A and B are shown apart, each in its own frame.
Chain A
Amino acid sequence: MDVILILLAAGLLSWPLGRYMTAVFAGAPHWSDKVFAGPERLMLRLFGVDGRAGMNWRQYGLAFVAANLLLGIIAYVLLLCQHLLPLNPDNVGPLSWDLALHTAVSFLTNTNQQHYSGQLQLSFFSQSVVLVTLQFLTPAMGLALALAVLRGMTGGLNSATAKAGEPRNLGNFYQDSLRAFTRVLLPLSVVLALLLGSQGVPSNYQAATEAVLLEAPQSAEQAQIQRIPQGPVAAMVAIKQLGTNGGGWYGPNSTNPLENPTPLSNALQTIALVLVPMAMLWMMGGMLSRTASVNAAAASQAGLTPHTGLTPRAGQGFARMSFAVMAVLSLCFVAAAVYSEMQPNAAFAGLGASGGNLEGKEVRFGTDLSALWSTLTTQTSNGSVNAMHDSLNPLAGLISRAGMLINAIWGGIGCGLINFIVYIWLSVFIAGLMIGRTPEMFGRKLEKTELSWLGLLLVLPSAVILILTAITLSVPEWTANSNPGLHGISQVFYEYTSAFANNGSGFEGLGDNTPWWNLSTVLALLLGRYLPLLIPLIIAGRLAQKPVTPPGAASLPLQSLTFGVTVVVVILLLNFLSFLPSMVLGPIGEALVDLR
């Protein structure tokens, strides 16, 4: 019941947000200018950037890489020096170089995989300044990249006027990132942080509070007091949820009652998980249909018949199809996970009352809300948790890994939509093979070079995840898993999947703060962030330059039910082929052992 209400609320709120985002990124005058235009002008001046200057795909991609590189270096240095910096009331010490590197890269890649334990190892400065900044800027930059890919697919912002061979304008990277920050992520985060504050998420800069235990421990060696960790937690939790980040203030994330105190705070945080990724689809519809209208108007003004592969209706229809594909997959996964956690934990058979799997879960949430969260957080590349995934029943464990491997059901902000478009290109290609046509999207043909890039994207996840998993499992001293047998394999596979998918959740029993784990996951994090964002930008940039073929009778209508079903099948089939053997060794094997 509450599961349905939460999903419904998220879906309903995403529609107006998507409309708002369409208007904000269109560049036309908008009511939000009254509030934001002034501060944005000031910030652009501080960046030293002319926000109106367009970039082609190369310039856009380079600006993205440069900003990431510098942001990463600054974050790494600040994390290394945290013991010398202010805002450290609990006097936490320095981080090891490999842990600092892993933390910086993990937050830079919008992953927020944590090999440290928040309240013990990071200062307030590291968390509320360094990490919060990365939590805002990385989804903003991801969103900007998605805008560039969408613009490229439709010929760039200057598509109506550019001559053949003229560079296509994909927008300005800094202008797009800034608007994503000031007009989308920032206002939403402020509202959410205040709502969470009202529910009991701490907001202060005090050292941990000492409380005398009500029942004094029997032995004098045990602590007689309890230290309750404090900090500016609400500010971080808000953007952690909204920016598909997932890195929480405290160790066990939103499982911790200080980070997620009530069922209401849980509902708000669950909605925040999927809100922006859902709205991205409506924004895509708005953008495509707007581009189509602009091109048609320009053509008719020039006295030409508009010939474009895209009409406003088709643009909106494509977004609706995409939303439907994701919603169907998402709901099936949620239903399976909720069912899975309603089943008893195999270890409890005959030892307690009948009921769902409560190991690693909180009483105030129960099994349903925990299963909902675990599904959505792995679909959206968020990776925050409100229950321990290590103790999930095998089916829900499988669902959470499937969400990360697909990585395009809602998906992370920007990267989710881009991954989905990659699946669309692959579907267009496969469908094109079946009907014997050159694959095309919005009238622009996908040719050999584009398909080679797509092929690289296709083999990349299995190459990175499986090779790293195999290496780690072959050296037992490196593995450091806390569970024996098949689940031990699952722990390693989950960690690399989570890193590559830029998710950040974990089977947390893994002793993952070792140089091997830190460095090998850094590799997976970097490959999993930058290649899947930049390769589609290259493809979109190439598509932008291509001539448009008017749609003919044999064109594939991308908004049709048939194509939607094709996309679902392609998504499931590709992942099935890549990862079935590792799933058999992991959760499927565990489930069979439990049955026996």
Chain B
Amino acid sequence: MNLNSAFTQPMSAPAAAPTVENAPVQQHALWLPALRFSLVGLVFCGAVYSGGVTLLNQLLFPAQSNGSLIQATDGKVLGSVLVAQPFSAERYFHGRPSAVNSDPMNTAGSNLAPSNPVLRERVAADSARLAALYQVNPESLPLDLLASSGSGVDPHISPAAAQLQVERVAKARGCATTTVTALVAQQTQAPQWGVLGEPRVAVLPLNLSLDQACPVQAP
């Protein structure tokens, strides 16, 4: 009796070809199929899938597929929209603390637990430094300027963290605060589709646009 046809077709239908459901249990070779299964899998997943998908992405989304690079007019690579660079000069906006000095080849978080005294010491030192630099109460410092990012190359800061730095950057560049504020607004991204994620400011594009709009001679 054919169970397969019993379920999918009228009872009177002629018996279909044998399927896995009605074949008898029989002897099986053990090692050769396992070996061939592994090798075929390697070729298919490694070459056909990985290669095919990479090729398709190159055709459909060339800019994104090559690392979202920012290039100067002469083709020189200035960085990637997705990767933070280290900034400490007065004239630039600063990104988040990084456990790896924003090196994308060596990405990592601090991996310090909330109970770890090393974390407490680091945050206390940063908090005191930033409170003195911006002349504000430590309890108004945006947390993302104190907490190190998970990847070590988080390209964004919160809008509050950008706001805090506007005056310092404007002064260092001898540039109107309103110009800097306008550039910050330009580089601020709302949550995607209005709901997903958090509002954020991309630091490297912001600093690049500052150099364009309000250039200074490097000291």
Contact = CB atoms under 8 A, between A and B. Distances in A.
Contacts of B218: 216
B140 A359 contact: no
Contacts of A51: 20
B64 A199 contact: yes
Given A47-B36, A347-B120, A363 B114 contact: no
Contact of B150 (A172, A197, A203, A252): A252
B44 to A, nearest CB: 8
B71 to A, nearest CB: 9
Interface stretch (A54-62, A324-332, A496-504, A532-540): A54-62
A117 B119 CA distance: 23
A581 interface: no
Interface residues of A, number: 152
Given A209-B69, A347-B123, A169 B23 contact: yes
Interface in A423-439: none
A582 interface: no
A370 B49 CA distance: 30
B111 A345 contact: no
B143 A353 contact: yes
Nearest to A196: B57
Given A363-B149, A388-B111, A230 B23 contact: no
Nearest to B40: A46
A420 interface: no
Contacts of A355: 143
Given A54-B20, A197-B65, A226-B104, A232 B50 contact: yes
Interface stretch (A63-71, A97-105, A406-414): A63-71
Contact of B79 (A167, A211, A345): A211
Given A198-B60, A232-B50, A364-B200, A161 B151 contact: no
B135 interface: no
B206 to A, nearest CB: 11
Contacts of B50: 128-129, 132, 232, 235-236
A250 B23 contact: no
A361 B96 CA distance: 11
Nearest to A256: B151
Nearest to A197: B57
Nearest to B45: A133
Given A203-B65, A353-B140, A132 B46 contact: yes
Interface string B81-106: 11101111100100010000011111
B96 A363 contact: yes
Contact of B151 (A67, A252, A347, A486): A252
B115 interface: yes
Given A258-B82, A590-B113, A167 B25 contact: yes
A351 B124 contact: yes
A255 B47 CA distance: 27
Contact of A129 (B46, B80, B113, B124): B46
B151 A257 contact: yes
A594 interface: yes
Contacts of A119: 104-105, 107
Contacts of A223: 103
Contact of B28 (A53, A202, A234): A53
A95 to B, nearest CB: 17
B158 A363 contact: yes
B42 to A, nearest CB: 5
A348 interface: yes
B33 to A, nearest CB: 5
B82 A261 contact: yes
A38 interface: no
A387 B198 CA distance: 15
Contacts of B20: 27, 51-54, 157, 169, 171-172, 175
Interface string A349-373: 0111111111111111110011000
A306 B149 CA distance: 62
B73 to A, nearest CB: 15
Given A53-B28, A66-B30, A252-B151, A363 B198 contact: yes
B40 A43 contact: yes
A191 to B, nearest CB: 10
A352 B153 contact: no
Interface in B99-146: 102-117, 119-120, 123-124, 127, 138-146
Given A67-B38, A590-B113, A359 B197 contact: no
A43 B145 CA distance: 54
Contact of B34 (A59, A69, A117, A210): A69
Contacts of A290: 7
B49 A353 contact: no
Given A157-B21, A215-B86, A487-B115, A252 B138 contact: no
A212 interface: yes
A235 B65 contact: no
A161 B3 CA distance: 9
A54 B26 contact: yes
Given A215-B89, A264-B193, A258 B67 contact: yes
B218 to A, nearest CB: 8
A348 B143 contact: yes
Contact of A194 (B53, B138, B144): B53
Contacts of B150: 252, 255, 360-362, 370, 385-388, 391
B195 A2 contact: yes
B53 A203 contact: yes
26 contacts: A66-B30, A67-B38, A71-B37, A71-B38, A74-B38, A161-B1, A177-B37, A190-B49, A202-B66, A213-B85, A232-B51, A252-B108, A257-B82, A264-B196, A346-B114, A347-B112, A352-B142, A358-B147, A363-B157, A385-B150, A390-B111, A483-B112, A487-B113, A508-B109, A509-B111, A594-B114
Q: Which 7 A-B pairs have the closest CB atoms?
A: A263-B197, A129-B46, A509-B111, A197-B57, A203-B57, A388-B109, A263-B196
Given A169-B21, A352-B143, A363-B200, 5 more contacts: A171-B20, A203-B65, A215-B86, A359-B114, A594-B115
